Amino acid sequence: MKTIQGPAIFLAQFAGDQAPFNSLEGMARWARGHGFVGVQIPSWDARLFDLQKAAESQTYCDEILGILSRESLALTELSTHLQGQLVAANPAFNPLLDGFAPASTHNNEPARCEWAIQQLKYAAKASQRLGLNAHATFSGALAWPYFYPWPQRPAGLIEEAFAELAARWLPILNTFDECGVDVCYELHPGEDLFDGLTFERFLAAVNNHPRANILYDPSHMVLQQLDAPAFLDIYHERVRAFHVKDAEFNPTGRAGVYGGYESWINRPGRFRSLGDGQVDFNAIFSKMAQYDFSGWAVLEWECCLKHPEDGATEGARFIRNHIIRVTERAFDDFAGAATDKARNRKILGLD
């Protein structure tokens, strides 16, 4: 059995233009001061990280690891959530997504997609140079505008979308395989991979590629009303990364899962700081221990109410208190007896 690592923190939601949040050195000191022992780096944030340089220079990667090491921090994963979103994007979202990519690709979806695919390939090589074995990302979405079957979808629409999604991701998955790194898709509304069945559909389309895996985030399961602990019973062999994020779902007579176009604070389903929501983390950390998850427990903070500094401080403590240090022996070993085949046959009445 294996003990999960942590607590770690995803830096994306905390980065900013003011010190200490505008440099990796500053954020490393800040994270360590809040009790974290690992960080997940958003690869698109030039204030913290240069993805292309990391892919091309071992010296630069050693410098990144040195910055973290000076604060006794480990690097858990790189993230390409924004770039992954652009690998496949329905045209309905083009105006909203241009901001995720360089200005030279704006209003040019093929160029933007090509840029995103190259970014993922950089991430594979950078992860290898940094000694990582998992990578966090989004799948992108061609079919998401049609997730609800009305107006009636034409036959074959979803199949065509997943075939194209697989065609775009297969070369990326192969690059990650060459680098010895798992691609961990965060199953998230707004992506074509948003629940177990959509992941299964994608997995079949990429021929059960060994590098196509899951970033497990139970907050999105609360908002979709999935059984988050049971998800681990089904998919634990493909879960290779873990965002520890809380959420709550409180439906009313006026709104439910779809939220009525309300702001986050007014939606029935909304993200909360760890311990303030409805995720059953006792069950989830138990499942993680049961299934030998040896990766990192990474705080992702997106609470609509609490101050981020409090969310970080409380989150580090919450994760530490939920990590189960697994046992090295069975509790009833003291009453055990050595194997004796003849004795066992006698007990069973077979002699």
pLDDT by residue (tens digit) across 276-296? 999 999 999 999 999 999 999
Give yes or no for a contact between 288 and 232, defined as CB atoms under 8 angstroms apart: yes
pLDDT of residue 297: 98
Q: What is the CATH number of the domain that holds 272?
A: 3.20.20.150
Give the closest residue to 113 by CA, choosing from 147, 143, 142, 78: 142
Please, which pLDDT band fits residue 341 given cuts at 50, 70 and 90? confident
Counting the structural domains of the chain, the total is 1
Please, which pLDDT band fits residue 197 given cuts at 50, 70 and 90? very high
Q: Is residue 338 over pLDDT 80?
A: no
pLDDT by residue (tens digit) across 148-187? 999 999 999 999 999 999 999 999 999 999 999 999 999 9
Please, which pLDDT band fits residue 1 given cuts at 50, 70 and 90? confident
Please, which pLDDT band fits residue 332 given cuts at 50, 70 and 90? low
Give yes or no for a contact between 136 and 85, defined as CB atoms under 8 angstroms apart: no
338 vs 324: CA distance, rounded Å: 29
Share of the chain above pLDDT 90, in %: 93
- C-alpha to C-alpha distances, 320 to 52, 70, 281, nearest whole angstrom: 34, 21, 12
Please, which pLDDT band fits residue 122 given cuts at 50, 70 and 90? very high
Token output for 114: 């090509």
Give yes or no for a contact between 284 and 242, defined as CB atoms under 8 angstroms apart: no
Q: What is the mean pLDDT of residues 13-29?
A: 97
Q: What is the mean pLDDT of residues 40-50?
A: 98
Give the closest residue to 89 by CA, choosing from 158, 144, 165, 141: 141
First to last CA, the chain: 37
Per DSSP, which regions of 168-268 are E strands? Answer: 182-186, 212-216, 239-244, 246-249
Q: Is the dihedral angle over the CA atoms 185, 191, 197, 201 positive or is it negative? A: negative
pLDDT of residue 327: 81
Provide the 10 A C-beta neighbour count for residue 6.
23
Q: Is residue 336 over pLDDT 80?
A: no
Give yes or no for a contact between 220 and 187, defined as CB atoms under 8 angstroms apart: yes
Please, which pLDDT band fits residue 343 given cuts at 50, 70 and 90? confident
pLDDT of residue 170: 98
The upper half-sphere exposure of residue 60, i.e. CA atoms within 13 Å in the direction of its Cβ, equals 14
pLDDT by residue (tens digit) across 231-268? 999 999 999 999 999 999 999 999 999 999 999 999 99
pLDDT of residue 333: 66
pLDDT of residue 321: 98
202 vs 196: CA distance, rounded Å: 10
Provide the 10 A C-beta neighbour count for residue 167.
12
Range of the domain at 199: 5-347
